[in-house]
Amino acid sequence: MAILTLRCWSSDIGIVQSDPTLPITVSADGCSRWQQGEYEVYHLRGNCYLNQGLTYARAPEAVVWVDRPETSDEPTKMLVYFEGTNDSRVCVDYRNVSTGDRGQKTLGQEEASTWFQRFTTLSSIRFRLPATTQEPATRPAIYDRGLAQFDPQRRRQLLLAQFTEFAPAPDPIQTLPPGMRSIQLSPRNDSSPAIDSKPQPDGGRVTVVSGGIRVLVEGLPATDVPSAFGPIGIVDISTDRAVIWTAGSDLGFGGQSVQTQDTPLEIYMEGNIEFRQGDRVVYADRMFYDIRRQVGVILNAELLTPLPMVDGYEYQGLVRLRAAAIRQIDQSHFSATNALITTSRLEEPTYHFGANEIAFEDIQTQVFDPRTGEPLVDHRQMAESRGNFVYVRGIPVFYWPTFATDLRKPSFFIDGVRVGSDRVFGTQVATDLDAYQLFGIRNAPQGTDWGLSIDYLSDRGIGHGTTFEYNRPDFLGFNGQANGQWDSWGISDEGLDNLGFGRRTIVPEKDYRFRLFGQHRQRLQSGWELTGELGWTSDRTFLEQYYESEWDEQPDPRTGLRLKRLADNRSLSIEANAQVNEFFTETQWLPRADHYWLGESLFGDRLTWFEHSQAAYANINIADTPTNATLAGQFSLLPWEEVIPGSGIPISGNGERLVTRQEIDLPLSLGPVKVVPFALGELAHWGEALDGDDIQRAFIHTGVRASVPFWAAFPEVQDSLFNLNGLAHKVVFDAELSYADANQDLVDLPLYDPLDDTSIIEMRRRVLNGTLAPTITSLKFDPRLYAFRSGIQGTVTSPTTEIADDLMALRMGMRHRWQTKRGGPGRQHIVDWLTIDSNATWFPNDSRDNFGQDIGLVDYDLRWHLGDRFTIVSDGAADFFGDGLRTISGGVLLNRPSRGNAYVGLRSINGPIESNVLMGSYSYRMSPKWISTAGATFDLSDTGSIGQSFSMTRVGESLLVTMGINADTGKDNIGIRFLVEPRFLPKLRLTSMTGIEVPPAGAFGLE
């Protein structure tokens, strides 16, 4: 395709567009670096260069501001200011989206004396710079000129609007000279106050005001704000009565006075005091404040201040500090006597933290949004106290002598308490504590959370554990965004496991039972991504008993490390892992390397190439037989774990695995039909097959794929009952005819790459064993053959290498979308009204490939969104050979945000297992104070009731109190649970269970 280059000259270069998913590269001959508030600042000198995608910039000198995100999901933001000289101008090459013919990539080039641009990237920033020097003693002149590109007059007006939200509209902004401040006196209400101003012998002046006054002081020094923005600190005071001491002339009333920042200015206030600084608000009866030094004393005071954003969550309420006396030591530090901290706005809060003395630190840092340029206030709030109690309804429930915390979350010591009782664990009392607060760790690392848990289970013992979570820009001295979690929990178990029908009285294999779990991921600045994982469990039934939902739903944790590097459409990963749980089958890779090269264009887009090559040494360790007699009687080796199926002799599974799999596609367009002939080939070597010998395999998979789209629009379709505002029908028909041939059978190989998680594998053992009905041993239900018939071997990115064999199949599918418009005037948007996806496969050699049936793997998925909150869902799948799985389901989903949700559905299963299960659940906010939740599952066949649950939640002013009951027929268990949770936690357990958001009391006004 043609590439056009447009060249133009201008005094300045306009805004260019670049792809935020691409990395940014910065280089220069010289560099100095320093920190300015939330920004990293780089002063670049000589051959300055910047690149993102098709945007390239070059200049002799530049300044770069970088704002790194708190979480890996957020973009890194960068502001750049490039400046040229008479001999060397700023030159920018960029993607020009406004010119050029359709289908052509058009590049533009501009030159100018200066260039200012905002960038964002979800990838990395690559600095290719020499050793950086320290912060210069004086800022370079280009730094101030770069700040001027922010439009400082507009920024200053925005800052004043931010800081004087409650003040009357000020007069047109006049820039104060450096080192100066202004004072403005005005009435608090419509009536004029009484003012008496007298000079003092020492040259000062005392002004006594009664009847309501507002004092607006502008021009105070603001921490971490560049001086180019001018003095922006503002104090806004309203009070009934005041005495003002200052030096110099009369301040005047209704006008504005200007004086130097070091001029004494002190105010004593009485009656209905409202003191505002930044977005902090103080209410008091009496107060003294020294504006010059920004210190003061407050009596019978309350301080309200917001919390910072944590992990992308912004707390909707305010933190409230109330005390008999508060001393403001400086701009950011407070000391309170006989104080309480709470998020409640009630005079007598339901839940609060009290202390004899509290030192409170609220550092407000001015930052700017690189996208909009608007000013923001960032808070870092700390509290340190002695003689601490946690009160519930005025009753002390917890005491600790010392306390120190970063107030990122408004809870104190106790994060949650759960009480329950059932036949499996007995009476249960579970307590979650904040470890940082408990141990008085004042300067906890930013972006981390450390918790402790102490759990009492009357029938099992005392459990104990700890969790540590982090999301930081570095980890253990290594730069690069890192996030992870580590969890440990253990118990000296004195009871029996109840795992369901046929396993209700299992003696644990270990007396002391535990699990250690961890996940770590870090994007290193070198471009590599480091991933680590730990999953160590004491015995085979611990997770299923104590972490049942995790056992059923989460992927298996492995124990190992992986290094991965991405470069465009290529990736290289190197990993190694160890088996630490001998009671589960697992493959140790010692080590393994994988290389992917996907979608590479060849010969001018005529061909597309895909590649996956791997080299590894594998050691597959087969699960040990259980020591418990009941479990041992239900244990069987799976066919791919035995030397000979049915022999009971486990394989050794040691040896190298070398594989390369390549695919070449030839994309063609035959009118509206897209046709892609393809050929995939593989050469593979295993050091050990099921019989212990090495094995080589050649595999080919070739054929043709085709797809054709159709669409029709019917704007005249209008129906208020079915929420139709026009209708468009879009459908894509696709098909793949393929032929595969391999010189080895897949049943001769171990499954070095497992197809299922451990919970499914352990269930298969019991079904294969025959101790419990039903017994399923036919190859029709072998997961290897199901994956093979489904075409898992048809791509180079197949998750399992061993699954490949002879096969011929024609796969056909339809993707239907009926779409309409919804939304108010000017806000209409296109939504899916009805979607139906369906697939079917024809097997020409049905006796070999599909157990005698030429049609199989038929499935469909339907979603009918009749309204934004009402959906009908249905899905089904069928195989038509004897006892083949046939399943169909249908249901109705209702969702009302903040109010509740409900689902009713029926699923029917026929085949080796027959079941007709009716399911229903709902969560509903019955009133502002009550939430009810219920769920039930019934098998309409012989099984009958499977389980039910019901709970009621009382939404209190500070606490959420939940009482519930549940029944589990499989375990013959009935349980009662009682949960007390602070309402103001950033992440509520109640919300995760019900989907109903419960904001803090008073977040949106009085309740």
Nearest to 984 by CA among 302, 349, 343: 343
Written in H, E and C, the secondary structure of 146-213 is HHHCCCHHHHHHHHHHHHCCCCCCCCCCCCCCCCEEEEEEEECCCCCCEEEEEECCCCEEEEEEEEEE
Q: For position 1003, what pLDDT does the model report?
A: 56
SS3 792: helix
Contact yes or no for 417/396 (Cβ under 8 A):
no
Q: Is 994 helix (H, G, I), strand (E, B) or coil?
A: helix
Would the pTM count as exceeding 0.85? no
Between CA 909 and CA 597 the distance in angstroms is 41
Whether the pLDDT of residue 173 is over 60: the answer is no
If you average pLDDT over residues 18-31, what whole number do you get?
86
Confidence class for position 938, pLDDT limits 50, 70, 90: very high
Instruction: Give the E-state strand segments of 10-104 in sequence order.
Output: 24-27, 30-36, 39-52, 55-67, 76-83, 90-95
Let me know whether 372 and 259 are in one domain. Answer: no
Specify the pLDDT at position 367: 56
Q: Which of 365, 391, 408 is the last residue of a domain?
A: 408
Do residues 642 and 625 touch, judged by C-beta distance below 8 A? no
Of the ranges 50-59, 486-495, 578-587, 628-637, which one carries the lowest mean pLDDT score? 50-59
State how far the Cα of 837 lies from the Cα of 1003, in Å rounded to an integer.
44
- pLDDT (tens digit per residue) in 651-687: 988 999 999 999 999 999 999 999 999 999 999 999 9
Question: What is the Cβ-side half-sphere exposure of residue 211, based on CA atoms within 13 angstroms?
Answer: 12
Which range has the worst mean pLDDT, 88-92, 183-187, 250-254, 942-946?
Answer: 250-254
Residues 339 and 396 in one domain: yes
pLDDT exceeds 50 at position 562? yes
Output the pLDDT for position 942. Answer: 80
Do 231 and 304 sit in the same domain of this protein? no
The pLDDT-based confidence of 106 (bands split at 50, 70, 90) is: very low
- Give me the pLDDT at residue 755, please: 93
Question: 707-721, 770-784, 958-972, 980-994: lowest mean pLDDT where?
Answer: 980-994
Contact 82, 44 (CB under 8 A): no
Please say whether the beta carbons of 255 and 183 come within 8 A: no
pLDDT band at 181, cuts 50/70/90?
confident
Residue 280 has pLDDT above 50, yes or no: yes
* Domain identity same for 299 and 401: yes
Query: What dihedral angle (degrees, nearest 10) is formed by the CA atoms of 267, 270, 274, 278?
Result: 20
**Most distant CA atoms of the chain, gap in Å:** 113
User: Can you tell me the mean pLDDT for 852-866?
Assistant: 96
- pLDDT category at 589 given cuts 50, 70, 90 is very high
Residues 68 and 368 sit within 8 Å (Cβ to Cβ): no
Both 22 and 143 in a single domain?
Answer: yes
User: pLDDT tier at 566 (50, 70, 90 boundaries)?
Assistant: very high
d(CA 89, CA 110) in angstroms, rounded, equals 10
- The DSSP-derived string for 215-265 is EEEEEE--TT--GGG---EEEEEEEEEEEEEEESS---SSSEEEEETTS-E
Amino acid at 673: V
Confidence of residue 890 (pLDDT cuts 50, 70, 90): very high
Does 191 map to a domain? yes
The torsion angle over the Cα atoms of residues 871, 872, 873 and 878, rounded to 10 degrees, is: -160
- Dist. CA 595–CA 231, nearest whole Å: 56
Confidence of residue 99 (pLDDT cuts 50, 70, 90): very low
Strand partners of residue 839: 813, 859
Among 55-64, 154-163, 371-380, name the one with the lowest average pLDDT.
154-163
> Nearest to residue 318, comparing CAs of 331, 334, 302, 332?
302
Question: Residue 102 is part of which domain span?
Answer: 3-148
According to the model, what pLDDT value does residue 170 have? Answer: 40
Lowest mean pLDDT of 193-197, 310-314, 769-773, 894-898, name the range: 310-314
Lowest mean pLDDT among 70-79, 322-331, 996-1005: 996-1005
The mean pLDDT value for 611-635 works out to 94
What's the structural domain count of the chain?
Answer: 3
The H or E element that residue 763 is part of is helix 758-769
Confidence grade of residue 129 (pLDDT, cut at 50, 70, 90): confident
Rounded Cα distance, 13 and 110, in Å: 7
Q: Is the pLDDT of residue 318 over 80?
A: no
Q: What is the mean pLDDT of residues 619-633?
A: 93
The H-assigned helical ranges of 517-661 are: 542-546, 548-553, 629-633
Residue 13, in any domain of the structure: yes
Which of 373, 408, 443 is a domain's end point? 408
Does 375 lie in the same domain as 347? yes
pLDDT of 104 higher than 90: no
Q: How confident is the model at residue 152 (pLDDT cuts 50, 70, 90)?
A: very low
Higher pLDDT, 972 or 375: 972
In a domain, 355, yes or no: yes
pLDDT score recorded for residue 455:
96
Angle (CA) 635 638 641, round 5°: 115
Residue at token pair 């507009």: 154
Tens-digit pLDDT profile for residues 909-924: 998 888 999 999 999 9
| pLDDT over 50 (residue 642) | yes
Confidence grade of residue 403 (pLDDT, cut at 50, 70, 90): low
pLDDT at res. 144: 81
Place of tokens 């468009």: 728
Is 552 part of a structural domain of the chain?
A: no
Residue found by looking up tokens 């007069």 in the block? 171
Q: Quick check: is 360 in a domain?
A: yes
| pLDDT, average across residues 345-373 | 68
CB–CB of 932/951 below 8 Å? yes
Residue type, 321: L
Q: 166 pLDDT exceeds 80?
A: no
Question: With contact defined as beta carbons under 8 Å apart, do 481 and 473 qualify?
Answer: yes
Q: Is the pLDDT of residue 161 over 50?
A: no
Count of helices and strands (H, E) across the chain: 10, 50
* 141 plus 155 within the same structural domain: no
Asked whether residue 853 is domain-assigned, the answer is no
Q: Is the pLDDT of residue 888 over 90?
A: yes
Tens-place pLDDT, residues 218-255: 877 654 433 333 344 688 899 999 999 888 777 777 77
pLDDT score of 1007: 54
On whether both 139 and 186 belong to a single domain, the answer is no
* Nearest alpha carbon to residue 881 among 905, 910, 907: 910
- 162 with 224, same domain: the answer is yes
Label residue 613 by pLDDT band (50, 70, 90): very high
Cα(496)–Cα(507) distance, integer angstroms: 5
Tens digits of residue pLDDT in 62-96: 999 998 887 777 888 899 999 988 888 888 887 65
Question: What is the percent of the chain where pLDDT is above 70?
Answer: 86
Per-residue pLDDT, 375 = 54
Average pLDDT over residues 968-975: 89
pLDDT, residue 761, reads: 94
DSSP 765: H
Q: Which of 246, 274, 302 is the last residue of a domain?
A: 274
- Note whether residue 115 is domain-resident: yes
pLDDT of residue 11: 41
pLDDT of residue 510: 94
> Are the C-beta atoms of 376 and 368 separated by less than 8 Å?
yes
Q: How far apart are CA 687 and CA 973, in angstroms?
A: 49
pLDDT at 64: 93
Three-state DSSP string of 883-938: CCCEEEEEEEEEEECCCEEEEEEEEEEECCCCEEEEEEEEEEEEECCEEEEEEEEE
> Are 35 and 81 members of one domain?
yes
pLDDT surpassing 80 at residue 172: no
Q: Compute the mean pLDDT over every residue in the chain, rounded to the nearest whole number.
A: 84
Q: pLDDT tens digits for 549-561?
A: 999 999 998 999 9
Q: What's the pLDDT band for 281 if we cut at 50, 70, 90?
A: confident
| Residues 137, 164 within the same domain | no
| CA 942 to chain centroid | 43
Q: What is the pLDDT of residues 693-733, one digit of tens each?
A: 999 999 999 999 999 999 999 999 999 889 999 999 999 99
Is residue 130 included in any domain, yes or no? Answer: yes
Whether the pLDDT of residue 437 is over 70: the answer is: yes
Written as six digits, the tokens of 780 are 């029709």
Q: Report whether 538 contacts 517 (CB < 8 A).
A: no
Higher-confidence residue of 817 and 201: namely: 817
Percentage of the chain modeled with pLDDT above 90:
47
- Residues with Cβ within 8 Å of residue 610, at least 6 apart in sequence: 597, 598, 599, 600, 662, 663, 664, 665, 795, 796, 797
Judge if 257 and 182 occupy the same domain. Answer: yes
pLDDT for residue 6? 37
pLDDT at 795 over 50: yes
